Structure 1
Amino acid sequence: MVLVVSGLDPSAGAGILQDVKTLSALGVKTHGVISALTVQNEERVFSVSFRDWEEMRKEVEVLSPPKTIKIGLVLPKVVKRLKEMFPDSIIVWNVVLESSSGFKFQDPEEVKKFTKYADYVVLNSKEARRIGEQENFIITGGHEEGDRIRVKYRDLVFETPRVPGEFHGTGCAFSSAVAGFLALNYPVEEAIRSAMDLLRKILERSSRVVETEKLLRDWHKYDVLNTLDEILPEFLEIGPFTVPEVGQNISYALPWAQSEFEVGKFPGRIRLKEGKAVAVSCASFKDKSHTARMTVALMRFYPHLRCTTNVKYKKEYVERAKRKGLKVYRYDRSEEPEEVQKKEGQSMVWMVEQAILKLKSPPDIIYDEGWWGKEAMIRVFGRNPKEVLGKIKLMLEE
């Protein structure tokens, strides 16, 4: 567990909010106590007020003893108090003398009196020169010139490619990552290397401020594909009753999807072979898909409806869906404008838009009875593959 004692940056680019985001990205349990209140945005700091130790102590002492303590913007004497309270904890102190906009937070001489109480002091090269380099300093080189970032610890120098741009909150994110890896029992050298690698990945996804939260989008990608792969056997089991001649796909979109390549699906589709349903490949974001385009079109109106599949058309399926209360829309392909017919994939988008216009609510099912060169088809919509599967089963049940 990591205890974060740090200032509050309302913009969340730095401070305790950034610390918690970074530690959460590592899956590390975190407790937090605010040590300072700032008035600032992503561009400028206007003021700071530090909290008194006695007030903070009451909050700290009721918490479990931490393995690691990450300290940010505090009155320097607080570092000593925390070391006295938790002598066995590893303390990582991210010293902040002044903001990038020039606001002065700390007196270098006052900070220098208390650096010995931290196991590791993380600060940039400019700050290190003002305080005077010490053995427990982890010195970051983001302020230096060059296409590589260098971090120095004792006689060791670590390097990583520089991500172009100026970012608010790099010191907080890096020092929190170091603290997190130390809490995971990494040796300090490996904690530094891993923190640099993590920060680089965060910055590659960020714009102006350190947007650690965007790492969670990678988890969403895993979750979408894993959900599709896990439910696939159930779709294959009923496949002989549902897979159309052109094949079936199940498309499940990321929450922010705006194109079909942000929608998970089965490249090659689900096909029938000797009466059994088989998948050509596992779930992927690659390849194009009509159901993926329909999902993106529907999400423009109802972003929570992220899943679409196609089912072979049978009149009895449609009648059962209506009897069981599903919202069904019949689409007439003969009414498609010529420009819609000519443009690849546009029919699916038009179909969704017409259904929403007529129903005035989200459709469960859109079906059509076919047209020249077009197989009759049922499309089923839902929040996720499990919900879509449930609607299909309603159509199959007598």
Structure 2
Amino acid sequence: MVLVVAGFDPSGGAGIIQDVKVLSALGVKTHAVISALTVQNENRVFSVNFRDWEEMRKEIEVLTPPRVIKVGLSAPETVKRLREMFPDSAIVWNVVLESSSGFGFQDPEEVKKFVEYADYVILNSEEAKKLGEYNNFIVTGGHEKGNTVKVKYRDFVFEIPRVPGEFHGTGCAFSSAVSGFLAMSYPVEEAIRSAMELLKKILERSSGVVETEKLLRDWYRYDTLNTLDEILPEFLEIGHLTVPEVGQNVSYALPWAKNEFEVGKFPGRIRLKEGKAVAVSCASFKDKSHTARMAVTIMRYHPHMRCVVNVRYEREYVERAKKRGLKVFHYDRSKEPKEVQEKEGQSMVWMIEQAIAELKSPPDVIYDKGWWGKEAMIRVFGRNPKEVLEKIKLMVRE
């Protein structure tokens, strides 16, 4: 467990908010106590107010003793107080002498009095020049020029390719990552290496500020594909009733999807072989799909409707859907405007727009009876594959 004692940055780019985001990304249990209140945005610091130790102590002493303590923007004496409270905890102190905009937080001479109470002091190369050399310093070179970033600890020099750009909050993110890896029993050298790799991945997804939350989107990608693969056997089980001649797809979009390559699907589709449904491939974000484009389209109007499945047209399926309370829209392809017919992919967009306009709410089912060169089709919409599967079962089962 890591105890974070750090300042509050209302913009969330640095400070205790950033600390908790990074530790959460590592899956590390975290307790947190605010040590300073700032008035700032992503570009400038206007003021800082350090909290009284006695107030902080009352909050800290009721918490579980931590394995690692990450100290951010705090009155320097705080580090000594924490060492007295927790002699067996590792203390990582991210010294912040001034903001990137030039606001002075702490006096270097005052900081020097307390560096020995921390196991590791993380600071940038400019701050290190003001404080001198100490055996427990981990010095980051993000402010220096070059194609790589170097981090120095004792006789070790770690190097990693630089991510282009200027980012607010790198010190907080890096020191929190080091603290998290130490809490997982990494040797300090390995904690530094791993924290550098993690920060690089975060910065590659960030713009202007450290956006750790974007790294967590990778979990959504895994979960989307995993959800599809787990439910595939259930779709195959009823596939003899549902798979159309052109094949079937279960398309499940990421919450932020803007195109079909941000939609999970089964490349090659689900098809019938000797009357039995088979999948050509496991779930992937690759390949193109009509249902994927439909998912992206309906999300423009109803972002929670992330899943679309096409089902072969049977009149009784439509009738059961209506009788069992599903919202059904009949799409008449003969009424498509010429400009819609002539533009690739526009039919699906126009179809969904018409359904939403008529139903005044998200459709459960949109069907058409076919047209020249177009197979009759039913499309079923829902929040996720499980919900769509249940709707399909309502349609196909007597």
1:122 aligns with 2:125: no
1:24 is aligned to 24
- Distance in structure 2 (CA, Å) of the matches to 1:145 and 1:365: 58
1:14 aligns with 2:29: no
- Alignment-mate amino acid for residue 53 of structure 1: W
1:75 aligns with 2:39: no
2:109 is aligned to 109
1:194 aligns with 2:194: yes
- Distance in structure 2 (CA, Å) of the matches to 1:361 and 1:16: 41
Root-mean-square deviation (Å): 0.5
- Alignment-mate amino acid for residue 352 of structure 1: I
Secondary structure of the residue that 1:157 maps to in structure 2?
Answer: strand
1:210 aligns with 2:210: yes
2:338 is aligned to 338
- Distance in structure 2 (CA, Å) of the matches to 1:298 and 1:245: 24
> Which deviates further from its counterpart, 234-243 or 355-364?
355-364
- Distance in structure 2 (CA, Å) of the matches to 1:348 and 1:48: 55
- Distance in structure 1 (CA, Å) of the matches to 2:161 and 2:209: 18
Q: How many residues align?
A: 398
C-alpha deviation, 1:341, in angstroms: 1.4
1:258 is aligned to 258
Query: 1:1-398 counterparts in 2 under 5 A?
Result: 1-398=1-398
- Distance in structure 2 (CA, Å) of the matches to 1:257 and 1:145: 37
- Distance in structure 2 (CA, Å) of the matches to 1:397 and 1:373: 29
- Alignment-mate amino acid for residue 48 of structure 1: V
Q: Deviations over 1:52-78 (max 9, x none)?
A: 111100000000000000000011111
- Alignment-mate amino acid for residue 234 of structure 2: E
Q: Deviations over 1:290-343 (max 9, x none)?
A: 000111110000000000000000000000000000000000001111221122
- Alignment-mate amino acid for residue 296 of structure 1: V
- Distance in structure 1 (CA, Å) of the matches to 2:137 and 2:228: 48
Q: Deviations over 1:119-159 (max 9, x none)?
A: 00000011111011100000000111111000000010000
C-alpha deviation, 1:248, in angstroms: 0.2
- Alignment-mate amino acid for residue 303 of structure 1: P
- Percent of pairs identical after alignment? 81
- Distance in structure 2 (CA, Å) of the matches to 1:72 and 1:361: 49
- Distance in structure 2 (CA, Å) of the matches to 1:122 and 1:227: 41
- Alignment-mate amino acid for residue 342 of structure 1: E
- Distance in structure 1 (CA, Å) of the matches to 2:19 and 2:303: 30
Q: Which stretches in structure 2 are left out of the alignment for 5+ residues?
A: none
Q: Deviations over 1:72-94 (max 9, x none)?
A: 00111110010110011010000
- Alignment-mate amino acid for residue 373 of structure 2: G
C-alpha deviation, 1:243, in angstroms: 0.2
With normalisation by structure 1, the TM-score equals 1.00
Secondary structure of the residue that 1:300 maps to in structure 2?
Answer: helix
Structure 1 runs of 4+ aligned residues shifted over 4 Å read none
- Alignment-mate amino acid for residue 47 of structure 2: S
Secondary structure of the residue that 2:354 maps to in structure 1?
Answer: helix
